[in-house]
Structure 1
Amino acid sequence: MTRPESAVHDVDDAGAVDDYDVVISGAGLAGSAAAILLARRGVRVALLERRSDPEAYKVLCTHSLTANAYPVLDELGLVPALEKAGAVRSEARWHTRWGWIEPRAAPAGPELPYGYNIRRSVLDPLIRSHAAGTPGVDLLLGHKVTELVGEGGRTVGVRASTPAGAREIRARLVVGADGRDSAVAKLAGVAARQHENTRFGYLAHFRNLPLRGGIGQTWFLEPDMAYAFPNDDGVTVLAVLPDKKRLPAFKEDLEGSFHAFVRALPDAPPIDDAEPTSKIIGLVDYPLHSRRPTAPGLALIGDAALTGDPLWGVGCGWALQSARWLAEEIAPAATGRGDLDRSLARYARRHGRRLRGHQFLAADFAKARPFNPVERLMFSAAARDASLARHMHLFASRLIGPLRFLNPLALAKASAVNLGHRRTAARPGRRPAVSVLGRSRR
């Protein structure tokens, strides 16, 4: 249930003190999901949110829930509510110098896995309200964590400031779900490993911006990037992510540069006819970072543990997945029926196993470089072959990892597709195929 910042607590000389099994700092996607999933497993959860407004939401976001998030959304019971709120299923196509990669379901096969595109102004209050209505969860608004309580070399609670005064909350486990600049991680001394992102980004929301096929579009321009995702209520999120070398000139006329960049895209959406519904907001300096996701008595989920490159739109999906992994691994121990340290070690291994490879590739691509030879092989073949386009879709949706994406059979299939393409193109009387970027598609 929701408890406002003015709620009355038992108070001693040290301030208000309460006991829970788990205290979570941050009631966004990761924190709210973790609270729900833990409470359903019998865990008593204090869900702290520094903002007092239950309708608060994250502004700077791709607003994309990749298909890897669907099982979590389904377990949370949010799929019907998302559909009712107008969430758009996350179909997508990707432009490359070899043409468009357009994943489609196989003939007589199942539909492609999907997630949703929905604005955080709708999504965040929805999942937070769902958490507040979950038995075993106390949503505490206006609670900002200011200190961690430690005993015997481990974290055993937090101290929070509220408009009603200081408050101490004890718990077997403290969870940081408070974003890339996590106060919990900093207070615990958990350092972040950073990877430079040599692209900058700006995004804005538009109405009446039709997209081909009515689905998401991503442009790989090597090294520049752009994407357009349709969302609920007819709003499209449009983002451009150029090489940082272009930043000084771009900032001289932000609106003009943004529009000019979009107009120059292959099959560009008609931005000049669209209605802007937000300001152009920026990601001028947004490094990727990762933190060790556990410490004694403490766990990190969502962006607090790992922040990826926004161009991939995977942060929301990973936030929900990491919340689920944590709940599955530590719920019994959080109620005193198991070894918490061993449970946290399992969560840390699972987190690293599932996300480390993705982050490694993303950090390398964040150097704003052209495609490397393996990427050229896979992307060019996916633009020419339907089965490889579906394989690309599974990877882009984070349903398979890098090892499965680049498995020997997939590489062999891509090589065969491209070899066949070259043989066909070399037949007498055929003119060289040219992409919309004016470069050879071979």
Structure 2
Amino acid sequence: MTSPMSSPVRVAEGERGVASFDAVIVGAGPAGSAAAIELARAGRRVALLERGSFPGAKNVYGGVVYGRVLDELIPNWWTEAPIQRWVTRRQTMLLTPGQALTVDFRTENWGKPPYNGATTHRADFDAWLAGKAEEAGAKLLTSTLVTALRTDPGGRIVGVRTDRPDGDLDAGVVIAADGVNSFLAKQAGLYAEDQLANSTLGVKETLALPRETIEERFGVRGTDGVDIEMIGATKGIPGGGFLYTNLDSLSIGVVVDLTELGKAKVRPEELIAELKRHPSIAPLVRGGEIVEYAAHLIPEGGYHSMPTLTGNGLLIAGDAAAMCLAAGIWLEGVNFAIGSGMYAGRAAAAALAAGDTSTRGLAGYRERLASSFVLADHHKLRGAPGLLMSERVQRKYPAMLCDLVEGVFQVTNPQPKPGFRKLLLRSAKRHGVRLRDLARDAISGIRSYG
């Protein structure tokens, strides 16, 4: 949605763009569209800008959408949203090259309202949500690149500069929903440091398979689906793997630390190829035809990596505000984008009504976020990303736990069965895990997730 610029463009007193709006929203992803819906319903003139030829054209997503936040925005959304499958089975896997320890949970409750999570294609989902913004009255401008913020002589943001032939746009408030590593947030000086250090790289393949084959292999039927998350799938590079079922395709891929990926000198597609060869995964993806390969940066730094969320005439929402929850058990992003966009829209509408879109006038945005799941969950789980990406969790614990469980189930006749304590000590020693570190990490986990 944006092009990198070193600083906002200062406009002269009285200089105006060719079109004037109450709000300009940059980025027609879930955050931007949710904000546009709220503002348009409040009777405001809204421009929703999208760099791609249609909303979702530039977005890559192979995961699960947790859509319950839409209950408040679009009642009965599940009857019309472009959902592939409802996740009724969730697996968490710990992998070594020849082992897999899996926690497998399934429930019929997630296959009916109120739904929990669903797989979807972002091109479909984003276009649907942006269409709701248009229905509410927002003006969608596609194929529009924002090149800079525009400010008045006092430093207040008064619009955006675009690459459109008809020029710049005026706005009472700008909402930056321009995605990870937001150029607009950087231009406004709201990020204290380079966000690449807090970003991971997600890469995925979409594999076409017949619907009947998917349902047979994964033990589902109808529109029920499976979400598999993995640790130990990235050759020791901090990160994880995933496998999700769509109606007639699978999404498989890895998410890895950018810095460590560079040090390892491994191409991400090699990691996916190795994951597909794993004895626990190969039978699930056998015969799948690659129909898409994509890569995308993900803001996984958590609560402490978020920028200042409000500026003088500016709000930051969604991935642009690093609102992606990467906490191992919970891997969520779209729901936080929708929630933050919804509250950004409400805060902007209130500020416009009060005639004050300064930093102070927009302060209600953070207050709304803090009183909702958006910041509450991020704050509660602020220590989780560091624990999850630590060397022991990534490289030692999967092998230790797989060996421990193998020992528990191994029949040792004619020798007597070893006790659990002996097996634990043996596995910990074999993989270089000190019990005091194990206890320390357990305490950190309780604090992070408790």
Partner Cα distance (1:241, 1:156) in 2: 36
Match of 1:406 in 2: none
Gaps of 5+ in 1: 1-12, 385-420, 422-427
Moved more, 137-146 or 313-322: 137-146
- Structure 1 counterpart SS, 2:344: helix
- Structure 2 counterpart SS, 1:219: strand
Match of 1:168 in 2: 169
Q: Percent identity?
A: 22
Offset, 1:112:
7.7
Partner Cα distance (2:160, 2:208) in 1: 44
Q: Aligned pair count?
A: 363
Match of 2:393 in 1: 371
Partner deviation per Cα, 1:358-387 (whole Å, 9 max, x = no partner): 663353146343339xxx8xxx9xxx9xxx
Work out whether 1:335 is the aligned partner of 2:353.
yes
Match of 2:310 in 1: 294
Match of 2:84 in 1: 87
Kindly indicate whether the alpha-carbon contact (under 8 Å) linking 2:230 and 2:240 is maintained by their aligned counterparts in 1.
yes
Partner Cα distance (1:191, 1:198) in 2: 14
Q: Which among 327, 332, 347 is matched to residue 365 of structure 2?
A: 347
Paired AA for residue 345 in structure 2: A
Moved more, 13-22 or 29-38: 13-22
TM-score, L = length of structure 1: 0.68
What does residue range 114-263 of structure 1 map to in structure 2 within 5 Å? Answer: 114-135=116-137, 137-151=138-152, 153-171=154-172, 173-193=173-193, 194=195, 196=197, 201-208=202-209, 210=214, 212-213=218-219, 214-221=225-232, 225-231=240-246, 233-241=247-255, 244=260, 248=264, 250-251=266-267, 257-263=271-277
Offset, 1:293:
0.9
Match of 2:382 in 1: 360
What does residue range 261-280 of structure 1 map to in structure 2 within 5 Å? Answer: 261-264=275-278, 266=280, 268-279=282-293
Structure 1 residues 247 and 203, CA, compared in 2 at 3 Å: closer, same or farther? farther
Paired AA for residue 119 in structure 1: H
TM-score, L = length of structure 2: 0.67
Partner Cα distance (2:315, 2:105) in 1: 37
Partner Cα distance (1:170, 1:20) in 2: 5
Paired AA for residue 241 in structure 2: A
Partner Cα distance (2:228, 2:255) in 1: 14
Kindly indicate whether the alpha-carbon contact (under 8 Å) linking 1:197 and 1:363 is maintained by their aligned counterparts in 2.
no
Match of 1:75 in 2: 73
Paired AA for residue 23 in structure 2: V
Structure 1 residues 238 and 368, CA, compared in 2 at 3 Å: closer, same or farther? farther
Structure 1 residues 73 and 182, CA, compared in 2 at 3 Å: closer, same or farther? farther
Kindly indicate whether the alpha-carbon contact (under 8 Å) linking 1:37 and 1:76 is maintained by their aligned counterparts in 2.
no
- Structure 1 counterpart SS, 2:243: strand
Structure 1 residues 25 and 96, CA, compared in 2 at 3 Å: closer, same or farther? same
Kindly indicate whether the alpha-carbon contact (under 8 Å) linking 1:195 and 1:363 is maintained by their aligned counterparts in 2.
no
Match of 2:33 in 1: 32
Offset, 1:72:
2.1
Kindly indicate whether the alpha-carbon contact (under 8 Å) linking 1:95 and 1:218 is maintained by their aligned counterparts in 2.
yes
Partner Cα distance (1:20, 1:267) in 2: 51
Structure 1 residues 201 and 140, CA, compared in 2 at 3 Å: closer, same or farther? closer
RMSD in angstroms over aligned alpha carbons? 4.1
Match of 1:415 in 2: none
Partner Cα distance (1:149, 1:57) in 2: 26
